[in-house]
């Protein structure tokens, strides 16, 4: 699959390159990223190198693109977002953002761009994009809910992180679902602020 940079002129999503290794390694030192993402802890430069070699290149080759999130076209990596192919018509979305830029709607914008590309017939032509997050990751839940993902439940001990099973929230968006805030999330736990 060819590279597909995405932008709304507030954020830029581009394929990470070797020039981004040090930025990725620096971002992944943040404990709040390690809490919710399945990355090595501690995270070293060699982990960022492996990420590029083992995830980025093969991902783009197999309909599982990963983009670096930037706040300028030529800016440093401040986040990451990707689609992991489940089959030809379905993918799972995952993302992280550095704490200094949270709460500004940047990740919501990124998810909107990635979903649009994922559902477009001239993009990936997906029918479904799923999301899962460890229970308690309210920020991630708010981002996907704002982007039309419908809550589908909780998988008890549904995911593994560093040799420990954790409960997992599940949601999904279909190509036919509208992009705005999704209804039917459990009251209280997931109120959008």
Q: What is the pLDDT along the chain (193 residues), one digit of tens a residue?
A: 788 999 999 999 999 999 999 999 999 999 999 889 989 899 999 999 999 999 999 999 999 999 999 999 999 999 999 999 999 999 999 999 999 999 999 999 999 999 999 999 999 999 999 999 999 899 999 999 999 999 999 989 888 877 889 899 999 999 999 988 998 888 766 655 4
Residues 6+ apart with CB under 8 A from 166: 134, 135, 157, 158, 159, 160
122 within some domain: yes
In terms of Cβ atoms closer than 10 Å to its own Cβ (0-12, 13-18, 19+), residue 67 is buried
Count of the separate structural domains present in the chain: 1
186 within some domain: no
Total Cβ atoms within 10 A of residue 129? 27
> Any idea what the CATH number is for the domain that residue 123 is in?
3.40.630.30
What is the model's pLDDT at position 9? 94
Q: How far is the C-alpha of 110 from the C-alpha of 116, rounded, in Å?
A: 10
Cα torsion 139, 143, 144, 150: sign: positive
What is the model's pLDDT at position 189? 66
What is the model's pLDDT at position 111? 98
87 within some domain: yes
Give the C-alpha distances (Å, rounded to integers) separating 63 from 29, 46, 123, 172. Answer: 28, 25, 10, 18
pTM, to two decimals:
0.93
90 within some domain: yes
185 within some domain: no
Query: Regarding beta strands 128-134 and 150-161, do their DSSP bridges make them parallel or antiparallel, or are they unpaired?
Result: unpaired
181 within some domain: no
What is the model's pLDDT at position 184? 83
Give the helix ranges, DSSP H, for the chain: 21-27, 31-36, 45-51, 57-61, 106-119, 138-146
- Domain range for 21 is 6-174
């Amino acid at each position: 699959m060819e590279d597909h940079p995405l932008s709304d002129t507030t954020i830029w999503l581009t394929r990470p390159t070797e020039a981004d290794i040090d930025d990725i390694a620096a971002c992944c030192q943040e404990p709040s990223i390690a809490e919710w993402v399945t990355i090595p802890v501690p995270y070293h430069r060699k982990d960022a190198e492996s990420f590029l070699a083992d995830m980025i290149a093969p991902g783009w080759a197999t309909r599982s693109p990963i983009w670096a999130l930037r706040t300028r076209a030529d800016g440093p990596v401040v986040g990451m977002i990707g689609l992991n192919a489940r089959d030809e018509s379905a993918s799972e979305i995952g993302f992280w953002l550095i704490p200094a830029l949270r709460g500004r709607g940047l990740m919501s914008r990124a998810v909107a761009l990635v979903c649009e590309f994922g559902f477009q017939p001239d993009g990936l032509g997906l029918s479904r994009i799923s999301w899962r997050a460890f229970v308690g990751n309210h920020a991630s839940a708010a981002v996907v809910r704002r982007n039309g993902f419908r809550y589908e439940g909780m998988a008890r001990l549904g995911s593994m992180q560093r040799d420990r099973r954790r409960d997992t929230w599940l949601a999904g968006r279909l190509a036919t679902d509208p992009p705005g805030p999704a209804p039917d999330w459990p009251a209280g736990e997931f109120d959008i602020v």
